[in-house]
Amino acid sequence: MRLLYLMINFIIIYLIVYSFYYVFMINKYDKDGNRKKKKEKKKKESKFLKALRSRFISEKDELLLRGRDTNKKKKKDKDEEEKIPTEVELLLYKYNLDMSKMNYKKLLKMIGSVCAFDIAFILTIIFAIPTNNIYIELIVGALLIIPVILISYSILGNYLKKKGMTKDEVRKRTKNRK
């Protein structure tokens, strides 16, 4: 009965973490790895306001107003900056992966699945400890988190290597032949 309880906890935690990762990370990118742009809402003017504007504002004034709006320095939004998630950077650097060979959104889904598995696994182990001492649970969680993350990312990196997603190293091969 206890094993069934732990398995249900694992599944629930996995689904919750993966859904959060999907909403906040995966939905921001398209399949090529570019951030989706937010849709800007256009301000709609009523006919009454258009008539007032055309009657009381001359063309010179309108050009001046538009000029002032466009000359302002625009600060870059956080969404405009192209940042690669840390997990993707780790996999690209450590396993020499080539982004042109893979679907970026699919890669993010795999990474989200691995993250959700790690968190669900660690929390399930913490829930399985029969003590009510929170300090022991925190120590166990802190000791488990780094090895579990490193092992799971190494499994994912080796899987992607085996699939042939690495960069072709032509230069190194030709140097070794000479």
Q: In this predicted model, what pLDDT tens digit does every residue of 154-169 receive, in sequence order?
A: 999 999 888 887 877 6
For residue 59, the model assigns a pLDDT of 61
Pull the structure tokens for residue 27. Answer: 């939905």
Cα of first residue to Cα of last residue in the chain, in angstroms, is: 65
Task: Spell 15-35 as b/e; 16+ CB within 10 A means b.
Answer: eebbeebeeebbeebeeebee
109 lies in some domain: yes
User: What tokens appear for 65 in the block?
Assistant: 């107003």
Task: Classify residue 74: in a domain, yes or no.
Answer: no
Highest mean pLDDT among 22-26, 29-33, 70-74: 22-26
Q: What does the pLDDT average to over 122-151? A: 92
Domain presence at residue 39? no
pLDDT of residue 155: 94
- Please report whether residue 131 resides in a domain: yes
Counting Cα atoms < 13 Å in the Cβ hemisphere of 132 gives: 0
Q: Is 100 among the domain residues? A: yes
- Residue 102 tokens read as 């893979």
Write out the residue range of the structural domain in which residue 157 sits. 2-31+84-177
| Res. 110 pLDDT band, cuts 50 70 90 | very high
- For residue 74, pLDDT beyond 90: no
Residue 135 falls inside a structural domain: yes
Instruction: Tell me if 168 sits within 8 A of 97, measured CB to CB.
Output: no
Asked which of 68-72, 83-87, 121-125 is least confident by mean pLDDT, the reply is: 68-72
Task: Give the integer Cα–Cα distance in Å for 2 and 16.
Answer: 21
95 within some domain: yes
Token pair belonging to 34: 């570019």
- Number of structural domains in the chain: 1
User: Cα 64 vs. chain centroid, distance in angstroms?
Assistant: 42
**Cα-to-chain-centroid distance, residue 53:** 45
Q: Which two tokens stand for residue 18?
A: 């993966």
In the structure encoding, which two tokens stand for residue 109, read together? 């889904």
d(CA 115, CA 83): 19
In-domain check, residue 36: no
- pLDDT at site 86: 84
